[in-house]
Amino acid sequence: MNILKGKIKTIKSSGSLSLVTIDIQGIFFSTIILETPSTASYLIPENQIKVIFKETEVIIGKDIEHAISIQNKIAGKILEIKKGDLLSKLTIETRIGRLIAVITSDILYQLQLEINENIIAMVKTTEIMLSE
């Protein structure tokens, strides 16, 4: 699990859904959740909150910056690579902390990812959970 600490910035609700923006040391992450301020007591702007997502949900981008439907992006540097038969684990250093990403070993070779390489780590808004 990747856990980042941040502060709730904005909450946009519609029906029972909310789009929450969290400020993590100046980087903004968004998440869509099936809660509203009336059902979840922690949904208050400026509230300290933990942003949680699984390492298997982290997407790695390299080189070219093209338009992509993923809101949450953070630049980082690969610190460590642990290669497995099918899956590989990357430890990524970013300005908001270390992240772990588990990707297939195939794509690791295809992208020729190496230690110290600069990459972009991305997480879909629907994959992020919040916790007090």
* Cα distance between residue 83 and residue 65, in whole Å: 26
CA quadruple 78, 60, 118, 62: dihedral positive or negative?
positive
* Residue 130 interacting with other proteins (CB under 8 A): yes
Helix (H, G, I), strand (E, B) or coil at 106: helix
Of 23 and 127, which has the nearer Cβ to other proteins? 127
Contacts to other proteins from residues 19-78, by CB under 8 A: 32-35, 40-42, 50, 52, 54-56
Least CB distance to other proteins at residue 88 (A) = 6
Sequence letter at residue 87: L
Sequence letter at residue 111: L
Judged by the rule CB under 8 A, the positions of this chain that interact with other proteins are 1, 32-35, 40-42, 50, 52, 54-56, 82-89, 100, 102, 126-132
